[in-house]
Chain A
Amino acid sequence: MSEQHIKLPEGSIEKTTTTLNLGPTHPATHGVFQNILELDGERIVSAEQTVGYIHRAFEKIAERRPLYQITPLTDRLNYCSSPINNIGWHLTCEKLLGVKTPKRVDYLRIIIMELARISDHLICNSIVGVDAGAYTGFLYVMQYRELIYEIYEEICGSRLTTNMGRIGGFERNFNDIAFQKIEKFLKEYPAVLQEFENLFTRNRIFMDRTIDVGPISAERALNYGFTGPNLRAAGVDYDVRVHSPYSSYEEFQFDVPVGTTGDCYDRYLVRNQEMWQSLGIIEQALRKVLEFKGAEAEIYHADVPEYYLPPKEDVYTKMEALIWHFKIIMGEINMPAGEVYQSVEGGNGELGFYLISDGGRAPYRLHFRRPCFIYYQAFEELTKGAMLSDAIIVMSSLNLIAGEMDA
């Protein structure tokens, strides 16, 4: 291991390492994490992670709720990219119920999911910069996260915890302002991302702080269950969007960027490249959406009266709509029995939903596969022998989100 940094008097029997509680609420941990570090001088001898400070028992709560009431719970998993969680959950329900969504819905969903991916990655990468001492990039890209949130606002009315969409599609069609804002984002963001890259990618200090910090081999990463950008940075081209396409991803052209060493710098590069790819996907999807004309351009949900709320005018005037409205809101609709696993490529890895239904109104069991809960285990291996300041960077470059970890 490391050499001895603190010299003690000879014959001393004192403990030679220092215990440091990093967290649970430390400004550098970006969330409620606790790391109990054993330090030899400034080198980390061992790290023990404690999680669960914001555990809210979502899996238990979900066993009492009808499907549509579970969507707000998924918001609070990875709250940097809530729409991906929402849509992943809707896809799980649709798989169980056998609902086929119209193409336009798929494309609209892809636009939203890729916007969410960009907002997730830009926060993660700029936070890595902040932890390395470069604050400018963070403030600069934050403006564009704001623009993404404005797009969410146009579509569903809320910003951070979006509760976006319904089983079968969206609650309303995208309005013109939403499309204008998406186009504005597509026009302005590439220059910003380019400038962000210019600030960091060949920055001497940034490179020194991230290259060879927290590396992991492809084999170890797979064994640790890494997914998403962290696995791709180690050199494995596994992407759920390519391997198990959902929401018509198979119709889109994009590259899967990979790294080689799996260190913080590679993770940063992979995320940046993914943002460029996401911009390309949004452009393709937007072109496909704008091709729909006339009545087709008004389609924004599948025809599933059992799960999709009828329009409010109909509820007041039509008997059947009133009945469906009541049944949906009270959660009195039984779903088919069965078990289903559906995963989506979340902001930080494969977000999976394992749903067991016994034919009742609520899931018998719902389990979330939360990517960062799984790869936070590797933190000790990644930081052993590293400096204390490296531990902070490793933590932010893994894109750990406390809400997702603790579920």
Chain B
Amino acid sequence: MPLTNDIIQQKLTEKFREQITDFTEPYGMLTFSAPKELNLKVLNFLFDSLDLKFRFLTDICAVHYPEQKGKELAVVYHIHNLEDNVRIRFKIFTDINQPDVYTATGLYSAANWMEREAYDFYGINFIGHPNLKRIMNVDEMDYFPLRKEYPLEDQTRTDKDDEMFGRGGAKGFGNERTDDGTMIEADKNAGEQII
């Protein structure tokens, strides 16, 4: 019998009850989330269960949702069952003030650098990771550049004003334009305060 999304959902619900939530199927890929304390238990179950056999880690990446209070950071796992050729997506959410998540390096060697990348860009602290340090950026960097509070270009520049390309115009950071058209220049030291 081919492994379908319904069967996976049923097996997961049998094992973890109502702790696994948000079952959706965007573009055919089963997506669900669990509390972050359970991430290793779920990954282990998916790996070991003889009916499921999700043993190939395709990808780990992090996402920042500043609007969701208490669940600002997400870690997304893409896992693949190569025998039945089914992919699933598994998400956990964590508070940005305490972004501690258990590492999956014990289960997948491939997770090592993927988690280092997620740490480097989003500051997710993978507990138990053998070598959790920055991978792309310099070690001296003291912020996490892919978080949404860092706009793409230097917002303290005053010589350019072009909302389309990420400079000025927007609310909350950089040069602000009031309704009557006057510009309020940004605080030049704002960048240091964020860091």
Complex contacts, A61 vs chain B, CB 8 Å: 152
Please, what's the 1-or-0 string for A160-197, where 1 marks a CB less than 8 Å from any CB in chain B? 00000000000000000000000000000000000000
Assess whether B78 is in contact with A60, with CB atoms less than 8 Å apart: no
Complex contacts, A352 vs chain B, CB 8 Å: 58-59, 78
Complex contacts, A222 vs chain B, CB 8 Å: 55-56, 82
Contact flag A55-B137 (CB < 8 Å), given A60-B152, A223-B110, A341-B29: yes
From A138-146, A151-159, A367-375, give the one contacting chain B: A367-375
Assess whether A225 is in contact with B110, with CB atoms less than 8 Å apart: yes
A369 to B114, CA, bound (A): 10
B side interface size, CB within 8 A: 35
A356: min CB distance to chain B, Å:
6
Q: Does B113 contact A (CB under 8 A)?
A: yes
- Residues in A lying within 8 Å of B, measured CB to CB: 51-52, 55, 57, 59-61, 63-64, 95-96, 220, 222-225, 236, 238, 243-244, 330-331, 338-341, 343, 350, 352, 354, 356, 364-365, 367, 369, 373-374, 376-378, 406-407
Q: With contacts A369-B59, A377-B112 known, what are 9 further pairs, Cβ within 8 A?
A: A52-B136, A57-B145, A60-B145, A243-B82, A339-B26, A339-B27, A341-B78, A356-B63, A369-B78
Most chain A CB within 10 A, of B27, B31, B112, B136, is at B136
Assess whether B110 is in contact with A224, with CB atoms less than 8 Å apart: yes
Q: Does B89 contact A (CB under 8 A)?
A: yes
Assess whether A354 is in contact with B110, with CB atoms less than 8 Å apart: no
Assess whether A51 is in contact with B109, with CB atoms less than 8 Å apart: no
List B65-118 residues whose CB lies under 8 Å from chain A: 76, 78, 82, 85, 87, 89, 108-110, 112-114, 117
A330 to B162, CA, bound (A): 13
Shortest 3 CB-CB distances between A and B: which pairs? A225-B110, A52-B136, A367-B61
Would you give 21 A-B contacts (Cβ < 8 Å), ordered by A? A57-B145, A59-B121, A60-B152, A61-B152, A222-B55, A223-B110, A224-B110, A225-B109, A244-B85, A331-B164, A339-B31, A339-B89, A341-B59, A343-B58, A352-B59, A365-B63, A369-B58, A376-B113, A377-B109, A377-B113, A406-B136
Complex contacts, A95 vs chain B, CB 8 Å: 27
List B18-53 residues whose CB lies under 8 Å from chain A: 26-27, 29, 31
The residue on B at minimum CB distance from A332 is B164
Complex contacts, B27 vs chain A, CB 8 Å: 95-96, 338-341
List B132-153 residues whose CB lies under 8 Å from chain A: 135-137, 145-146, 152
Assess whether B108 is in contact with A225, with CB atoms less than 8 Å apart: yes
A38 to B136, CA, bound (A): 22
Contact flag A341-B87 (CB < 8 Å), given A238-B82, A373-B113: yes
Complex contacts, B29 vs chain A, CB 8 Å: 341
Complex contacts, B128 vs chain A, CB 8 Å: none
Assess whether A51 is in contact with B135, with CB atoms less than 8 Å apart: yes
Most chain B CB within 10 A, of A51, A95, A223, A331, is at A223
The residue on A at minimum CB distance from B138 is A52
Complex contacts, A220 vs chain B, CB 8 Å: 109
Q: Which of A64, A223, A225, A341 contacts B89 (CB 8 A)?
A: A341
Complex contacts, A60 vs chain B, CB 8 Å: 145-146, 152
The residue on B at minimum CB distance from A378 is B109
A65: min CB distance to chain B, Å:
9
A367 to B136, CA, bound (A): 15
Complex contacts, A96 vs chain B, CB 8 Å: 27
Complex contacts, B89 vs chain A, CB 8 Å: 339, 341
